[in-house]
Amino acid sequence: MPKPANSVPASRLSIHRTARPAIAPDEIREDGTSRVRPGVYLLTRAASPQFATPIVVRVIRERTDRSSYDGWAWIEVYQLDSRGEAVDRRELYVRPDGMRQVPPPRHRTSVRRAAPGAAG
pLDDT score recorded for residue 2: 56
Q: What's the chain's average pLDDT?
A: 78
Higher pLDDT, 16 or 83: 83
Please give the model's pTM, rounded to 2 decimal places.
Answer: 0.65
Rounded average pLDDT over 58-77: 89
Q: Are 22 and 101 in contact (CB under 8 A)?
A: yes
**Alpha carbons 26 and 24: distance in angstroms, whole number:** 5
Q: What would the pLDDT profile of 17-63 be if each residue is shown by its tens digit?
A: 445 555 544 577 776 777 889 999 999 999 999 999 999 999 999 99
Q: How many Å separate Cα 94 from the centre of its chain?
A: 10
Of the candidate ranges 11-20, 49-58, 65-74, the one whose mean pLDDT is the lowest: 11-20
Give 78-115 as a DSSP string.
EEE-TTS-EEEEEEEEE-GGG-EE-PPPPPPPPPP-PP
